[in-house]
Amino acid sequence: MSLLNGFNAAEVEPSAGFEPIPIDEYTAIISEAEEKRNSNDNGSLLSLCFDIVEGEYEGRKIFVNLNLQHPNAKAVEISRAELSAICRAVGVMTPQNPSELEDKPILIKVAVSKRKDTGEMQNVIKKYSPLKNATQSSPVTGEDPFSK
């Protein structure tokens, strides 16, 4: 049986799409973390989905791809610094599996930028911080890679 069996679009209001959420700090969790090949098949990335878990934008998602293996060494360096900030913020300093980053509270600073490929506005995460009242499994230390 098909999952579409019995679906009638006339009975359901269509999605209006999503505008970017406003620039601000939001409490989130990483709901999905997965290693993937990149679109050019010349490297690997860590794909992360952040779910906003409080406030007016609860349920909204922000996606981040970190190039952990790539021909461009600078892209890898930037991605490794961003992953370090994420690991420190969620208190998992030496993850062995992407799933170890999931379901832990994190404070994200969200901004809005224009996509280079389509020109559309999108949300980007500019900073990762530990949640003030969250219990961390190890101390968070070090320089913020996004403050430069």
Per-residue pLDDT tens over the stretch 54-109: 999 999 999 999 999 999 999 999 999 999 999 999 999 999 999 999 999 999 99
pLDDT for res 140: 40
pLDDT for res 67: 95
pLDDT for res 4: 83
**What is the percent of the chain where pLDDT is above 70?**
88
Residue 8 scores a pLDDT above 90:
no
- d(CA 35, CA 45) in angstroms, rounded, equals 6
pLDDT band at 134 (very low <50, low <70, confident <90, very high): low
User: Both tokens of residue 70?
Assistant: 């790539």
CB 89 within 8 A of CB 130: yes
- d(CA 85, CA 80) in angstroms, rounded, equals 9
pLDDT band at 143 (very low <50, low <70, confident <90, very high): very low
- d(CA 22, CA 18) in angstroms, rounded, equals 12
